[in-house]
Structure 1
């Protein structure tokens, strides 16, 4: 099958969504499909909408048996999709209109997303939560292709890495409670809420913040919060690290704390569980499909610093619970499908979609 895959900028971008796209492309190529990536410029939402006045995009998306589009690109594709003769499949990690922001802005994004889905034949979703949000906008044929969380398998097994399979589950549970935040520094990831929570937690703990300052203003804001809360001795920012270094942290740290304001799924929680690291996550979005409250971590209300602080105190004081959660987290990771299974799910779905052919777009 000849497949076009549409992304912004390149597949090399660092996020859970782009990692999913990369593994999907790799898996489809390994299964004998011809895949060509169509990279669009990553601009502001308003500038992306202006891509619809160009006729060039339609020609770039022609000549395939099917086109897979990262839903992130939806504002650029409203017009081009309606002109295509081949099936269009959206790969959805989460809807922009699901993110927390003012209602009038989300009403605008929801209208654009609804129009986008009217030009799409089907959708691949990373979670049941994401599938439900898509089908509220249009009752498309959908499949859920859950991601694997094995980002660090190669890093943890390479001779260059000090991490081994044994050290993932045999960390020491004494000493300071070692928390790690892993994610790009953007408001949606909730680092500001985590810092507010930790400012009220006494005792022995540390937090390592690993992630690129994607939003420079927000990155400056959370650094300011660290200083304002007088947490400089306990909170360390590392910036983006190579996978080997991240794997080393996850093999030693106790808790992955990423209290996102919304996640379509939250691949990062699985990545931590590969090392037996339980998660502090929120109920906003699909994290509940990975994190079991009180078992593999804590599921807390979004933007609730008091609840986060209570969870940290609980794990600081009850290391037996922390150890049980660590064991449960590793078991939960083992139950997740592999990327081979994920790709097979998508391949079967694409076969069905291409057999049906292009469905007339809704007006």
Structure 2
């Protein structure tokens, strides 16, 4: 099968959707498919809108059986897809909708219009969660589709999943060590996490891992930690190599990322492989992974008191922490691997291509 995939910038090991796309491409190539990566320029949203003509020209020249498009690229493709050959199915890989992020009303409305036009131009979809599928269903028919959840087994060479003995020994060791892994931007709600932790009466530490993609927001987090009197407990580690991140996860007790919205949450899956209960947001698809008070916590991202209430007991009740940790590890073991996720998507694509032999989809607008 000849596959094209459209992404912004280089297809590398960045977090979130880029990791998903990279693992999918690796899986398709391992299965013998010929995959062509089309990299569109990473620019401001307004400039991305201007790239539709160039994108259409580049995509028309592809010799592929199916064209995957990371939905993140929708500003550059909303008009371009109308110019593509109807004989080649366009499959949108949707991680989360940009128009669901926290923008001013007028900007959110404008982006919603562009994003909706793009989604309606796709022939089929790959979703990372049922929640993400539901958000697309609100604006267009989400079928045909496959829900293929992100995996978290990229740290298998660094000792994940952890064994029972190591998890038991760690549970009683030192202060409660929490970790969050994300790009530092408002949607990730690290500020809400800091506010929740600041009210925890107990011995805890937090390591914040991730690149400062929004410099002003990253600076505000440092200011918030200082103003809250917890700056001596919070370490901003920046982006780490896989080896250093694995070491940090291995030494931690709790993963916390109460985002304002998260399509699924790959970092949470990866952390659970190290036996970390995951504190995640009720807004988005992470609740499809975490069972509240069994292998983690599902909290309202707008109520930092829920974060306080979840974390505080773990500082003193290490038996409770141990139970949650073992359950988190077991949940990880039951979760699909990247190989399985890629195979599920590949099977869907093969069915789509075989079905398309009888005629064109004709969905491009």
Per the normalisation by structure 1, the TM-score is: 0.94
Q: Deviations over 1:264-311 (max 9, x none)?
A: 001111111001100111100001111110111110111211111111
SS at match of 1:47: helix
Among 89, 92, 95, the residue aligned to 2:91? 89
Alignment of 1:1-363 (within 5 A): 1-54=1-54, 57-59=57-59, 62-85=62-85, 86-139=88-141, 140-156=143-159, 169-174=167-172, 175-357=174-356, 358-361=360-363, 363=365
Q: Residues 126 and 56 of structure 1: is their aligned pair in 2 closer, same or farther, counting only changes over 3 Å?
A: closer
Per the normalisation by structure 2, the TM-score is: 0.93
CA separation in 2, counterparts of 1:15 and 1:242?
A: 12
SS at match of 2:50: helix
CA separation in 2, counterparts of 1:344 and 1:211?
A: 30
Contact 2:255 2:276 in 1 (8 A): yes
CA separation in 1, counterparts of 2:139 and 2:310?
A: 36
Contact 1:168 1:274 in 2 (8 A): no
CA separation in 2, counterparts of 1:156 and 1:39?
A: 34
Residue 67 of structure 1 and its aligned partner are, at CA, apart by 0.7
Q: Residues 261 and 295 of structure 1: is their aligned pair in 2 closer, same or farther, counting only changes over 3 Å?
A: same
SS at match of 2:258: coil
Contact 1:256 1:272 in 2 (8 A): yes
Bigger drift between 55-64 and 256-265 goes to 55-64
SS at match of 1:237: strand
Q: Which residue number corresponds to residue 160 of structure 1? A: none
Q: Residues 120 and 176 of structure 1: is their aligned pair in 2 closer, same or farther, counting only changes over 3 Å?
A: same
Residue 55 of structure 1 and its aligned partner are, at CA, apart by 6.4
CA separation in 1, counterparts of 2:306 and 2:111?
A: 31
Bigger drift between 348-357 and 107-116 goes to 348-357
CA separation in 1, counterparts of 2:279 and 2:312?
A: 12
- Kindly tell me the number of residue pairs found equivalent between the two proteins: 358
CA separation in 2, counterparts of 1:13 and 1:149?
A: 13
Q: Which runs of 5+ in 2 are unaligned?
A: none
